[in-house]
Structure 1
C-alpha cells in the first residue's frame, strides 16, 4: 500500500510539473505573440493616426494664428530664397526694371540690386539672368513670379503655413 502511495505521489508530482511547464510555455508563446510585428503594427498605426490627427489640428491652429498676426503687420514682402521685408513698392520695381532694361549688356553683367531688402542679387560676367528675370517679370506685371506681395496679409494667403514673424 505504501508503495502504491509513493508511486501515486511521484506520478502526481510529475503531472504537476508537466502542467506547470505547459502553463509557462503557453505564457511565453502568448508574450511572443504580443511582441510580433503583426501585433505591434496595429498599435503603431493607431499611434501614427493619432499623431497625424494632432499635427493637422496644430497646423490649422497655427495657420489661424498666423493669419490673424499677418492681418495686423505692415510692409511689403519679397520672397527671393526666403521671405524678406522690402521697402520697395510696385512702382519702385517698375522704375528699377525700366532703368535696368536701358542698361547696355556690358553694364547688365555688372549689375546688382537688393530690391529694398537685406539680400543682394547680382549678375556676373557670364550670366545676366538673375536680374533679367526680375526685370522681365516686373515689365510684364507678373509680380507673383518674383514672389512680391504688397502686404503681409497677401503673403500669408499664398503661404499660410509660414509664420509672419519669420519674415526678415
Structure 2
C-alpha cells in the first residue's frame, strides 16, 4: 500500500512537471511570435499590400480626375502645387496682358513695386507684400525671358490635368 502511495505521488509530480513544461513552451512560442524579427516579415508584407492598394486607388482617382477634366471647359492658372484658378484669358490675352504689365512694372519705383499686384485674370491677386517676398519680380523676369508657360498657364483643364493628375479639377477656383 505504501508503495502504491509513493507511485501515485511520483506520477502526480511527473504529470504536474509535464504541464509546467508545456505551459513554459507555449509562453516561449508566444514570445517568439511577438519578437521584432518575427513581426518584421509580417509588417513588410502588410506595408507592401497597403502600398499596392494605395497605388491602385491613386490610379483610379487619377483616371476619374482625367475624365472630369476632359469634360470641363476654361483656361487654368496654377499657382503653386496646391492652388489653381480659372482665368478668363486665352493664352494670347494672357501673354499680351503680361507684356503690358511687365512694361508698367519696370517703370515702378521700389516702394510702388512692393505694393504692386497681379491678378492674371483670376479671382485672386498675387502681391509683392505677401510674406515679405517679391514674387512679382520673378514673374517679371519670366515675362521678359518669354517663358509665359512657366507661369502656370494652361489652355484647357485637360492640359492642366496632364501635368497635375492628382489635383481634383473640382478644386479649381
Asked if Structure 1 and Structure 2 have the same fold, meaning a TM-score greater than 0.5 normalized by the shorter chain, the answer is yes
- Judged with a 3 Å threshold, the aligned counterparts in structure 2 of structure 1 residues 108 and 97 are, in CA distance, closer, same or farther, namely farther
Q: Separation in 2 of the partners of 1:29 and 1:89?
A: 73
* Structure 1 segment 58-137 matched on structure 2, within 5 A: 58-81=57-80, 82-103=83-104, 104-106=107-109, 108-123=113-128, 129-137=134-142
Question: Could you list the runs of 5+ residues in structure 1 that have no partner in the other structure?
Answer: none
Say whether 1:152 aligns with 2:163.
Answer: no
Give the C-alpha shift of residue 29 in structure 1.
Answer: 0.7
Instruction: Tell me the SS of whatever aligns to 1:144.
Output: helix
Give the C-alpha shift of residue 138 in structure 1.
Answer: 3.5
Q: Separation in 2 of the partners of 1:128 and 1:83?
A: 20
Instruction: Tell me the SS of whatever aligns to 1:145.
Output: helix
* Most deviating of 34-43 and 99-108: 99-108
Q: Is the 8 A contact 1:108 1:128 kept in 2?
A: no
- Structure 2 length normalisation: TM-score? 0.86
Say whether 1:162 aligns with 2:161.
Answer: no
Q: Is the 8 A contact 1:76 1:87 kept in 2?
A: yes
Give the C-alpha shift of residue 85 in structure 1.
Answer: 1.1
The Cα RMSD (Å) is 1.9
Q: Separation in 1 of the partners of 2:22 and 2:115?
A: 85
Give the C-alpha shift of residue 135 in structure 1.
Answer: 3.6
Q: What residue number does 2:33 align with?
A: 34
Alignment length, in residue pairs? 165
- Structure 1 length normalisation: TM-score? 0.88
* Structure 1 segment 133-144 matched on structure 2, within 5 A: 133-144=138-149
Give the C-alpha shift of residue 110 in structure 1.
Answer: 4.2
Instruction: Tell me the SS of whatever aligns to 1:48.
Output: helix
